[in-house]
Amino acid sequence: MVDPTPEAPPGGEWNASALPLHVQAPQPPPAPAGYYDAAPPAADAAPLRLEARGVRKVYRTGSVEVEALAGVDLSVAAGELVAVMGASGSGKTTLLNCLSGLDEIDDGEVFVDGVDIQRLPDAKRTEHRARSMGFVFQAFNLIPVFTAVENVELPMLLVGTPAKEARERASEILARVGLGDRLGNRPNEMSGGEQQRTTVARALVTEPSIVWADEPTGNLDTHTAQTVLDLLWELNDHGQTLIVVTHDPAIGDSAARVVNMRDGSVIADRVQEKRRVEASR
Ligand SMILES: Nc1ncnc2c1ncn2[C@@H]1O[C@H](COP(=O)(O)OP(=O)(O)OP(=O)(O)O)[C@@H](O)[C@H]1O
Ligand SMILES: [Mg+2]
């Protein structure tokens, strides 16, 4: 017997492979010049740091439901620099929160260094995050009563690094981001850029597998933003995996790979042949 022509399943959800040839599945927007679609990683490629499959997140406020992530797949290999872009409300921060395990998801799977983080009990997940991830947020999230060096050593103390070693490493990394002479300053005794560099130092001090940044230059002036970007991009040159959420086109232009989101979905995932290390903000 000949197979019947496939029909739309109830609810109208189409499976592209079941479509007759003359029906086109929705296509992503064409790639701009200089970009090409990110290929699936080759078998001999760098190990995957992050692998997310079918991640769904629904926010419920009273009787209103917002599907902030509508089944996102994303793989990031060691050493990649990925800019996540999209309009306000498209789900970028939600993606960061859900893929880093800061927030619960409603469906899907997230592996960080092969560990299914959503299945870890809370305490283990927090520990895994403290060891393998660093965060640079737009609001600096520095603890106001702590000095720069105390803020930076905190993540190490949380994972049991001895105090003396934590102090030494915090001092070293602050020197590396150009703040060797600000160790004893509290956040309100530093400029915006110095505070953001302290945040970068804190994100890196545990040598995490992935650093997540959400609008890392959002409230900085052009010059300071460039300093912070230079620092992040230099870290990537040394092999640090970075996922940067932003709507700054200058960051998108200078990132090796750009993931575009719209309405909770990834609508394009492209690598650029050339990246420029400059910001025009
Ligand atoms: N805690 C929350 N409760 C309810 N709805 C939320 C919550 N956080 C986000 N949303 C909704 O989820 C959607 C995605 O929000 P998200 O913060 O991820 O967007 P975004 O792309 O980061 O935007 P922006 O560029 O403005 O930071 C939006 O519609 C938003 O209103
Ligand atoms: Mg956001």
Instruction: Evaluate if pTM is beyond 0.85.
Output: no
Distances (CA, A) of 55 to 72, 86, 110, 126, 175: 5, 17, 8, 19, 39
Whose CA is closest to 90, among 259, 281, 279, 212? Answer: 259
Indicate if ligand 1 lies below 6 Å from the C-beta of 248: no
Does residue 171's CB lie within 6 angstroms of at least one atom of ligand 1?
no
* Residue in the structure block whose two tokens are 């603890």: 143
Q: Is 88's C-beta closer than 6 angstroms to any atom of ligand 1?
A: yes
What pLDDT was estimated at residue 33?
60
Residue 59's pLDDT is 96
DSSP strand pairing (265-272 vs 257-262) = antiparallel
Query: Cβ-count burial of 43 within 10 angstroms (0-12 exposed, 13-18 middle, 19+ buried)?
Result: exposed
pLDDT at 274: 55
Neighbours of ion ligand 2 (CB under 5 A): 92-93
Question: Domains in the chain, ordered, with CATH?
Answer: 47-272 (3.40.50.300)
Cα 96 to the center of its chain, rounded Å: 5
pLDDT the model gives residue 9: 42
| pLDDT score for 190 | 92
Q: How far is CA 18 from the centre of its chain?
A: 34
Q: Ligand 1 test: best mutation among 92, 217, 266, most atoms within 8 Å of CB?
A: 92
For the four alpha carbons of 66, 70, 71 and 73, in that order, the dihedral sign comes to negative
Those residues of the chain that have pLDDT short of 70 are 1-45, 138-140, 273-281
Q: What pLDDT is attached to residue 3?
A: 46
In this prediction, residue 262 carries a pLDDT of: 96
Q: What is the pLDDT of residues 84-109, one digit of tens each?
A: 999 999 999 999 999 998 899 999 99
Task: State pLDDT tens for residues 221-245.
Answer: 888 788 888 888 888 888 899 999 9
Among protein residues, the one whose CA lies closest to atom 27 of ligand 1:
88
At residue 122, the pLDDT reads 87
Identity of the amino acid at 263: D
Residue 218: CB within 6 Å of ligand 1? Answer: no
Atom in ligand 1 nearest the alpha carbon of residue 264: 14
CB crowding 157-174: b at 16 or more within 10 Å, else e: eeeebeeeebbebbbebb
Residue matched to tokens 């690598």: 271
For residue 68, the one-letter residue type is A
CA–CA separation, 153 and 46 (whole Å) = 30
Query: Which tokens is 181 given?
Result: 């002479």
Say which ligand is closest to the CA of 58: 1
